[in-house]
């Protein structure tokens, strides 16, 4: 019920939108119990349909942030913010007027300019509010253009952040930066880039989650219904592509997305936790591909034949520099790697539980089906995006998108 209310709110439904509650579970129960629950729900539905009247929703409008007086230590301030629901549990820095103003000045934007509405609560995000959370996360002013580009990408419809923010899945943001801005402000792209010890990556990753949870209201246990959750709910995946390690002739992620090589671009994706390809043994691209084939399949996420529309999404293959050198050294171009990956990484329909695949929709795309039919992850090789990630070590990563989520890219500007 709570998730339904939040979802309705995020889609602009009127206040007081009615719901019919069907007690859990509704699957894997006897047919008689299903029938009883359905009969009860229909009776309630008829009454609601006859008598409910919508109330118009009052829209938010941008306004100047009010001041807050507080006396006490930083420890006490952190406790106060957490109790108010204004932080996530990690320490924050005080968002003083002076610190927020410095952040805003680094953007060349109006203080109250609206970036967008953050689902599921559809909280109105202004430049000033983003700056306040950036201060809380420890960001430096020069990070603001990159942070705003990431937030604008997050709010693009194709990202489906409302779904990612309220799901039971262990879904989080993956943010990848390309272009000159990477070296200009020191975003890590090599050893351990998505982990600790890199200030731009960690602080901006923390700021994005603060904004998603506080402005957007995506907090556990409701409306964020993540069954287990992950540390990426605190600091999201945030790293730059290691463009210095790109094999000759390969294109960086932002060029694959249609931007110029000299552009600074942020790509945002809602994804499941990555699968780690720890291939320390392969000596040829063909051998390396077998590791991918046994690690990845349409079952890696809610994709493939279980969600036919998911086959139209983009999947991210994060290739470590050593694996990239192996593949390119074997004579494979970027397009050849994608095509061979697409041809080899498949699973039979027999791997899916009974009733799982949407067989009719899949049959229209791949032809006659049988238990031995091999289902591809995507419909075309070009739907795989590659990014050269990290430093020394024979590890690569595969990021599967959350259902009905596609990556969005935004050019960094002031």
- Residues 240 and 305 grouped into a single domain: no
Rounded CA-CA distance 305/359 in Å is 7
Tell me, yes or no, whether 220 lies in a domain. Answer: yes
104 & 226 share domain? yes
- Do 222 and 291 lie in a common domain? no
Place of tokens 């991918």: 292
Tell me whether residue 257 is in a domain: no
Q: What's the whole-model pTM score? A: 0.86
User: 279 and 237 in one domain?
Assistant: no
Residue 304: the pLDDT is: 45
Residue 304 shares a structural domain with residue 388: yes
Q: Are residues 174 and 296 in the same domain?
A: no
Cβ within 8 Å of residue 34, ≥6 positions away: 26
Residue 228 lies in a domain: yes
Structural domain of residue 213, as residue ranges? 74-245
Cβ burial of 275 (10 Å; 0-12, 13-18, 19+) is middle
How large is the C-alpha radius of gyration of the chain? 23
Report residue 6: phi and psi, to 5°.
-65, -40
* Residue 130 confidence (pLDDT): 97
Using the 3D structure, point to which of 245, 263, 297 is the last residue of a domain.
245
* Residuewise pLDDT in 10s, the chain (414 residues): 665 666 666 555 656 778 888 888 877 889 889 889 888 888 888 888 888 877 655 555 666 666 788 888 999 999 999 999 999 999 999 999 999 999 999 998 999 999 999 999 899 999 999 999 999 999 999 999 999 999 999 999 999 999 899 888 899 999 999 999 999 999 999 999 999 999 999 999 999 999 999 999 988 888 888 899 999 999 999 999 999 999 999 999 999 999 999 999 999 999 999 999 999 999 999 999 999 998 887 666 554 444 555 677 788 999 999 999 999 999 999 999 999 999 998 888 777 765 554 555 666 666 777 778 787 788 889 999 999 999 999 999 999 888 888 999 999 997
CA–CA distances in Å: residue 28 to residues 32, 121, 226, 303, 308: 12, 33, 22, 22, 23
In whole angstroms, give the CA distance from residue 135 to residue 172: 22
Q: Is residue 323 part of a domain?
A: yes
Instruction: Say whether the peptide bond before residue 68 is cis (omega within 30 degrees of 0).
Output: no
Q: Which class for 228: exposed (0-12), middle (13-18), buried (19 or more C-beta within 10 A)?
A: exposed
Do 216 and 310 lie in one domain? The reply is: no
Look at residue 275 and give its three-state secondary structure.
strand
Chain centre to alpha carbon of residue 30 = 37
Q: Is residue 303 part of a domain?
A: yes
Query: What tens digit of pLDDT does each residue of 93-115 get?
Result: 999 999 999 999 999 899 999 99
Q: Are residues 172 and 283 in the same domain?
A: no
Q: 9 in a domain, yes or no? A: no
Residues 86, 127, single domain; the answer is yes
Domain boundary among 208, 226, 245: 245
Residues 164 and 178: their CA atoms lie apart, in Å, by 24
Q: Are residues 344 and 229 in the same domain?
A: no
Write down the pLDDT at residue 1. Answer: 63
Q: Judge contact between 361 and 308, C-beta under 8 A.
A: yes
For the stretch 386-398, pLDDT in tens is 999 999 999 999 9
Distance CA 11, CA 154 (A): 16
- Residue 249: predicted pLDDT: 96
3-state secondary structure at position 401: strand
pLDDT on residue 372: 82
Give the C-alpha separation, 330 to 283, whole Å. Answer: 9
**Is 59 inside a domain boundary?**
no
Domain presence at residue 63 = no
Domains contained in the chain, number? 2
pLDDT of residue 393: 96
Domain shared by 231 and 282, yes or no: no
For residues 206 and 198, the answer to whether their CB atoms sit within 8 Å is no
Q: Can you give the pLDDT at residue 314?
A: 86
**Residue 291 and residue 164 share a domain:** no
- Distance of alpha carbon 250 from alpha carbon 231, whole angstroms: 32
């Amino acid at each position: 019920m709570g998730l339904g209310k939040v979802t309705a709110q995020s889609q602009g439904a009127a206040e007081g939108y009615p719901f019919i509650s069907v007690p859990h579970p509704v699957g894997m129960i006897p047919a008689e119990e299903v029938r009883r629950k359905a009969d009860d729900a229909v009776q309630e539905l008829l009454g609601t349909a006859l008598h409910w009247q919508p109330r118009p929703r009052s829209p938010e409008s941008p306004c100047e942030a009010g001041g807050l007086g507080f006396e006490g230590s930083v420890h006490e301030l952190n406790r106060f913010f957490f109790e108010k629901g204004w932080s996530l549990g990690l320490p924050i820095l005080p968002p003083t007027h002076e610190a927020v103003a410095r952040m805003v000045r680094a953007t060349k934007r109006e203080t109250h300019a609206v970036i967008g509405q953050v689902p599921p609560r559809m909280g109105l995000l202004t430049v000033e509010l983003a700056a306040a959370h950036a201060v809380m996360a420890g960001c430096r002013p020069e990070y603001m253009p990159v942070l705003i580009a990431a937030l604008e990408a997050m709010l693009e419809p194709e990202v489906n952040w409302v779904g990612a923010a309220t799901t039971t899945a262990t879904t989080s943001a993956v943010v990848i930066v390309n272009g000159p801005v990477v070296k200009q402000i020191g975003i890590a792209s090599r050893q351990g880039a998505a982990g600790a010890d890199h200030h731009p990556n960690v602080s901006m990753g923390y700021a994005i989650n603060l904004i998603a949870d506080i402005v957007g209201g995506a907090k556990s246990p409701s409306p964020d219904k993540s069954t287990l959750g992950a540390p990426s709910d605190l600091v999201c995946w945030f790293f730059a592509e290691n463009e210095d390690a790109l094999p000759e002739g390969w294109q960086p992620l932002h060029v694959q997305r249609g931007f110029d090589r000299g552009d600074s671009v942020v790509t945002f994706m809602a994804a499941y936790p990555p699968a780690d390809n720890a291939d320390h043994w392969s000596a040829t691209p063909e051998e390396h591909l077998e590791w991918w084939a046994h690690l990845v399949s349409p079952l890696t996420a809610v994709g493939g034949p279980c969600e036919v529309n998911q086959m139209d999404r983009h999947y991210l293959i994060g290739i470590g520099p050593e694996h990239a050198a192996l593949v390119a050294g074997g004579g494979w171009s970027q397009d050849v790697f994608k095509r061979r990956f697409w041809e080899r990484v498949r699973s039979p329909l027999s791997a899916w539980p009974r009733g799982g695949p949407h067989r009719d929709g899949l049959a229209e795309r791949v032809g006659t089906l049988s238990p031995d039919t091999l289902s591809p992850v995507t419909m075309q090789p070009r739907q795989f995006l590659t990014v050269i990630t990290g430093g020394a070590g024979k590890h690569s990563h595969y990021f599967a998108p959350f259902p009905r989520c596609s990556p969005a890219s935004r050019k960094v500007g002031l």
